[in-house]
Amino acid sequence: MHITLYRKYRPSTFEELAGEVDIVKTIKNSLKENKMAHAYLFTGPRGVGKTTTARLIAKGLNCITNGVTDTPCNTCENCIDISKNRFIDLIEIDAASNRGIDEIRSLKDKINYQPAKGRKKVYIIDEVHMLTKEAFNALLKTLEEPPSHVMFILATTEPDKILETIISRCQRYDFKPVTFEESKNHLLMIAKAEKVEVDDESLKLVYEKSGGSMRDAISIFEKLISSCYGEKITLENTERVLGVISKKKLEEFLDVVVKNNVTEGILFLDNLWNDSINVEEFLKSFAYYLKELIIEKKSPFDTMKSIKIIEDIFEVMGKFRYEEDKRLLGYVILHKITKVERLEQNNKSNKNFIINNEEEKRLKEENKRLKEELERKQTFDNPDKVGTKTQNKSQEKVANISIEDIKSN
Does 349 or 86 have the greater pLDDT score? 86
Binned at pLDDT 50, 70 and 90, residue 137 comes out as confident
Gap between the Cα atoms of 313 and 125, Å rounded = 37
Is pLDDT of 329 > 90?
Answer: no
Query: Residue 280's closest CA among 242, 322, 243, 327?
Result: 327
Is pLDDT of 396 > 50?
Answer: no
Buried b (16+ CB within 10 A) or exposed e, 272-289: beeeebebbbbbbbbbbb
Percentage of the chain modeled with pLDDT above 90 = 43
Mean pLDDT for 97-113 is 82
Q: Identify the pLDDT of residue 402.
A: 41
Q: Where are the domains of the chain?
A: 5-174, 180-242, 245-409
Does 197 or 137 have the greater pLDDT score? 197
Query: Residue 265's closest CA among 320, 344, 333?
Result: 333
Is pLDDT of 355 > 60?
Answer: no
Mean pLDDT for 203-220 is 93
Is pLDDT of 13 > 90?
Answer: yes
Binned at pLDDT 50, 70 and 90, residue 348 comes out as very low
Provide the H-helix boundaries in 228-325.
235-242, 247-259, 262-274, 279-295, 303-319
pLDDT per residue as tens digits for the range 274-286: 877 888 888 888 8
Query: Residue 185's closest CA among 207, 154, 166, 152?
Result: 207
Query: Residue 156's closest CA among 11, 37, 261, 42?
Result: 42
Q: Identify the pLDDT of residue 405.
A: 44
Binned at pLDDT 50, 70 and 90, residue 132 comes out as confident
Binned at pLDDT 50, 70 and 90, residue 382 comes out as low
Is pLDDT of 409 > 50?
Answer: no
Binned at pLDDT 50, 70 and 90, residue 356 comes out as low
pLDDT per residue as tens digits for the range 18-72: 888 899 999 999 999 999 999 999 999 999 999 999 999 999 999 999 999 999 9
Q: Identify the pLDDT of residue 95.
A: 87
Q: Identify the pLDDT of residue 143.
A: 87
- As assigned by CATH, the class of the 180-242 domain is mainly alpha
Binned at pLDDT 50, 70 and 90, residue 225 comes out as very high
Quote the distance between the C-alpha of residue 295 and its chain's center: 14
Q: Identify the pLDDT of residue 366.
A: 66
Q: Identify the pLDDT of residue 404.
A: 42
User: 173 CB contacts (<8 Å, ≥6 apart)?
Assistant: 23, 26, 27, 40, 41, 42, 43
Is pLDDT of 298 > 70?
Answer: yes
pLDDT per residue as tens digits for the range 245-274: 788 888 999 998 888 888 888 898 888 888
pLDDT per residue as tens digits for the range 170-191: 999 999 999 999 999 999 999 9
| CATH domain 5-174 topology | Rossmann fold (3.40.50)
Gap between the Cα atoms of 205 and 239, Å rounded = 8
Is pLDDT of 77 > 90?
Answer: yes
Binned at pLDDT 50, 70 and 90, residue 381 comes out as low
Among 122-126, 288-292, 357-361, whose mean pLDDT is lowest? 357-361
Question: Please, what is the average pLDDT of the chain?
Answer: 83
Q: Identify the pLDDT of residue 262.
A: 86
DSSP structure class, residue 165: H
